[in-house]
Structure 1
Amino acid sequence: MKTTVKVWDPLVRIFHWSLVTCFAVAWLSADEWQDLHEVAGYSVMGLLAFRILWGLAGPRYARFRHFLRSPSQVIDYLRDIWQGREARHIGHNPAGGMMVLALILGLSLLTFTGWLYTTDQFWGEDWVEETHELLANLLLMLVGLHLAGVILASLRHRESLVKAMLTGRKRAPSEHDIS
């Protein structure tokens, strides 16, 4: 019997950690090192384009259709978390899938407003800069929620999701797990 199973392929893992790095660099370089900030932002754009394609054509656990659930399923899963009876998922759980979607959409809007601010038409427009900063702050909050979810799931299911995102492997499913 296998003790672990492959879940996240190398490209998903490289994407994930590259996105973490680029977002952190963009956040830390904002207002200080504009060239670095822009390079990080454009890198995020490229990473998002890749992830969207990989979400459509990648392996099983990378595909959106595998982990995106309806709002009612996400709410039911969150209720199960609150009641301490959520199922362990081998890939992303419904809340994690919704977080992936929220982060992709939020980062897409963030990079779009960042790019917009560099165009002749919108250079110096206060509303574009303010929208960009608001989105960055909202995304930082989403990242905090994401980290809280990772910690909670890791504790509840007794497996390190950070380690799984580094190695690509998780504990083999039991009969009660959802794969």
Structure 2
Amino acid sequence: MTPSRDMVRVWDPAQRILHWGLVISVALAWWAGEDRLALHVRVGYVALAIVAARIVWGLFGSRHARFSDFVFGPREVLRYTKRIARGREERHMGHNPLGGWMVVALLACIAVVCVSGFLYTTDAFWGVEWVEETHRVSAWTLVGLIAAHVAGVIFTSIRHRENLVAAMFSGRKPVSTQRPDH
């Protein structure tokens, strides 16, 4: 990306803080694991609070933060996926149709991890196998979703010649990008 390109604000500060807050809290919870259980539990609560805040922001926040801006129906997701396969997908200023559903999947999975973890700390569910198993399976599912998310960000950054990681720090994306095949 050249510095001379016109830039536009896409990701508002709240959205970026919530995004990186989730990155940090999920990474800390994973690192802490059972060996540092008190930290694991605390950052789990933080992650759940961030998910709740992101859901509220997804309903009432700025344009590109709202779910209505990026959660597309199945037909549009299929159409977009076919266009990716042909190398002809359109660029989106906010989340593309697959990225939008990845946001939903990540938020839902983090919520399941956090709620099952919370339940496991209560007297009513301590030692209950299905709660522990739900926590474990959803945590590993989250790892897979994160890997797919990072792969999608890298793929889209290369394909559209824009640094999406930098955009999630600065909040800004280029107004337009040129691809030689378009």
Question: When the two structures are superposed, what TM-score results if normalisation uses the length of structure 1?
Answer: 0.94
- Of 118-127 and 151-160, more deviation after overlay is shown by 118-127
Question: Residue in 1 aligned with 2:86?
Answer: 83
SS in 1 for 2:72: coil
Distance apart, 1:6 and its partner CA: 0.4
- Cα RMSD (Å) of the superposition? 1.7
Alignment of 1:1-179 (within 5 A): 3-173=6-176
Tell me the distance in 2 between the aligned counterparts of 1:166 and 1:84: 27
User: Quick check: 1:90–1:173 contact (8 Å CA) kept in 2?
Assistant: no
Share of identical aligned residues, percent? 48
Distance apart, 1:173 and its partner CA: 3.6
Tell me the distance in 1 between the aligned counterparts of 2:108 and 2:94: 20
User: Quick check: 2:160–2:177 contact (8 Å CA) kept in 1?
Assistant: no
Q: Which amino acid is the alignment partner of residue 157 of structure 1?
A: H
- Of 141-150 and 79-88, more deviation after overlay is shown by 79-88
Tell me the distance in 1 between the aligned counterparts of 2:133 and 2:105: 20
Tell me the distance in 1 between the aligned counterparts of 2:132 and 2:33: 11
Distance apart, 1:16 and its partner CA: 0.5
- Of 96-105 and 76-85, more deviation after overlay is shown by 76-85
- Of 134-143 and 119-128, more deviation after overlay is shown by 119-128
Q: Structure 1: which 5+ runs fail to align? A: none
Tell me the distance in 2 between the aligned counterparts of 1:165 and 1:64: 17
Tell me the distance in 1 between the aligned counterparts of 2:103 and 2:36: 28
Tell me the distance in 2 between the aligned counterparts of 1:174 and 1:114: 43
Distance apart, 1:50 and its partner CA: 0.6
Question: When the two structures are superposed, what TM-score results if normalisation uses the length of structure 2?
Answer: 0.93
User: Quick check: 1:67–1:92 contact (8 Å CA) kept in 2?
Assistant: yes
Distance apart, 1:28 and its partner CA: 1.1
User: Quick check: 2:113–2:135 contact (8 Å CA) kept in 1?
Assistant: yes
Distance apart, 1:19 and its partner CA: 0.3
Matched residues, number: 176
Distance apart, 1:80 and its partner CA: 1.2
Distance apart, 1:2 and its partner CA: 7.2
Tell me the distance in 1 between the aligned counterparts of 2:105 and 2:6: 32
Distance apart, 1:174 and its partner CA: 6.7
Tell me the distance in 2 between the aligned counterparts of 1:9 and 1:70: 25
